[in-house]
Amino acid sequence: MQHLINQPIRLPSEWRQTPVTVVIPTYNEAENLAGISEAILGLGLSGLRLLIVDDNSPDGTGQIADELAASFNRNGKQRMGVLHRKGKGGLGTAYVAGMSQALAEGAEFVMQMDADFSHSPGYIPAMLGVILSTRADVVIGSRYVPGGSLDEGWSWWRRFLSWWANLYSRTLLGIRVRDMTAGFKLWRGPALQEIGLSSIRSNGYIFQVEMAYLCERLRFKIIEVPIHFEDRRIGQSKMDIPVKLESAWRVWELAWRHRRRARAGTTNEQPVAVGRLTDDGMRG
């Protein structure tokens, strides 16, 4: 089955103007930042804005982000912003800060993704087409639905850990989302507001699990689309064994903390997996 990236989406002109902010947390991503910024802002989506949340990277990522923003923000158009934080505060708090700022600045949709090209910018128009055509609350770029895949260079051990983390989280929390630890998501603004970003306590990679869990507790309409997850092009992964083990035991904490939280009066829908898209952005 072909991936969405091989199915170019020609969005209607009014959809290309949709206010969407792409939030990317960074820590030591100096070598990736220019490339990923140019790829995202070169998609031809006039309503798209990029927000970098940098945790005072020692390699100068924050300064590079400022220079890129200055080059992109011309003729009175603010296409890129930079949020500087004082230190390495962690992935979860970085996303909360970036998403909160995006919503405050008027974004109707918020995309979260990594800076290292493991999430290809080419999927963004397709995911935007899905959320607009289906009125989903969140669209997940998923490795574990039919058509999704992992980088061929991953070792069997890394594949096993990723598979186990998803199975463990899904089983313990009773969730039907296939890719619990996915970091590539497109959110509808009101969904993030209903979640209440100030209530999120997770930091590190357990943040992804908490957000997925709350999506189902609140009975959001969730759609998973298949992606090919590439290994990062430059640098080393920050997802080491201790981080994964910490995430595992924190799943129990999530189950207890959110045990009473639910949206009343609606039916919890089965998450939908999309195999491919037609050119008008509808599911095919």
Whole-number pLDDT of residue 201: 81
In this predicted structure, what is the pLDDT of residue 275? 56
More confident residue, 62 or 164: 62
Q: Which residue bears the tokens 């209530």?
A: 199
* More confident of the two residues 202 and 219: 219
Read off the CATH number of the domain in which 30 is found.
3.90.550.10
Measured in degrees and rounded to the nearest 5, phi and psi for residue 146 equal: -55, 130
Residue 145 pLDDT class (50, 70, 90 cuts): very high
Q: Which helix (H) or strand (E) holds 206?
A: helix 206-217
Report DSSP state, residue 231.
P
Over residues 118-141, the pLDDT tens digits come to: 999 999 999 999 999 999 999 999
Question: What is the reported pTM?
Answer: 0.85
In the DSSP assignment, the letter for residue 277 is: B
CB atoms within 10 A of CB 155: 8
Count helices and strands (H / E) in the chain: 9, 10
Rg of the chain (C-alpha set): 18
Q: Predicted confidence band at 280 (pLDDT cuts at 50, 70, 90)?
A: very low
Count of structural domains, the chain: 1
Q: Are strands 228-229 and 149-150 parallel, antiparallel or unpaired?
A: parallel
User: Structural domain of residue 124, as residue ranges?
Assistant: 10-259+268-273
| Residue 254: alpha-carbon gap to chain centroid | 20
Residue 80 lies in a domain: yes
Q: Residue 261 pLDDT > 80, yes or no?
A: no
What's the confidence (pLDDT) of residue 279? 46
Task: Examine residue 189 and state whether it is found in any structural domain, yes or no.
Answer: yes
* Cα angle 232, 223, 256; round to 5: 85
Q: Domain for residue 278, yes or no?
A: no
- Residue 3 placed within a domain: no
